[in-house]
Amino acid sequence: MAADSLRTWRFRTTGVVLEVHDLPLACCAVETTSAFASRPDLFEEVTVPIANAIRVLLVSGTVTDRLLPAVMEAARGLGPDVKVVSFGSCANTGGPYWDSYSVTKGIDQFLPVARYVPGCAPPPEALVSALLDLVGQSS
C-alpha cells in the first residue's frame, strides 16, 4: 500500500497544519470518516502534498499479521518524521482479538506511536482531540 494511495486530509488549527493520511482497516473507519466529515472547519481533503506540514499516519482498525507489511510500507513512504496515531483498541493492543492467531497485538510493536486513542470504537471527537493534543493544543 503506497502512502499516496491513502485518502489524505489537511488538518488546520491555529498556526499548525497536519497532513493526515488515513489508513482505516476495520469498523473504526466509520468514526474517523465521521470526524473528517463533521468538522469541515478543521479537515479538508487534499490530493497533493502540503508544504511544511507535519505528516500523520492514522492507523485505525484491526492490523493483521498479513496486512502489517502494507502498513509498514505506508509508514516508510511518509518519511522518518511521520507521526503515527493509533486509533482504537485493535490498533492499540489487538483489542478483542488479543488472543487471535492472525492479529498484530498493537501497531506500537513495529512503529513508534505518537498518540494512542482508546476505545472500541473511539468517538469522532476523540480523533480531533488527539490531533490537537499532538500539536500541543487542547480541544
Binding site for another protein (CB under 8 A): 65-66, 94, 98-102, 105
Q: Measured from the CB atom, is 45 or 65 closer to another protein?
A: 65
CB of 20 to another protein, least distance (A): 30
The DSSP result for 22-87, as a single string, is EEE-STHHHHHHHHHHH-TTTEEEESSPPTTPEEEEEEESPPBTTTHHHHHHHHHHT-TTPEEEEE
What is the nearest approach in angstroms of another protein to the Cβ of residue 23?
Answer: 20
Whole-number minimum distance, CB 29 to another protein, in Å?
Answer: 21
Contact criterion met (CB below 8 Å) for 33 and 70? no
CB of 99 to another protein, least distance (A): 4
Of 49 and 96, CB closest to another protein: 96
Backbone angles phi, psi at 69, to 5 degrees: -60, -35
Which cell is 68 given?
502489517
- Of 39 and 105, the one with the shorter C-beta distance to another protein is 105
- C-alpha cell read off for 75: 509508514
Residue type (1 letter), 62? T
Nearer to another protein by Cβ, of 87 and 97: the residue is: 97
Q: Are 41 and 6 in contact (CB under 8 A)?
A: no
Residue 107 CB, nearest distance to another protein (Å)?
A: 16
For another protein, the closer of residues 60 and 89 by Cβ is 89
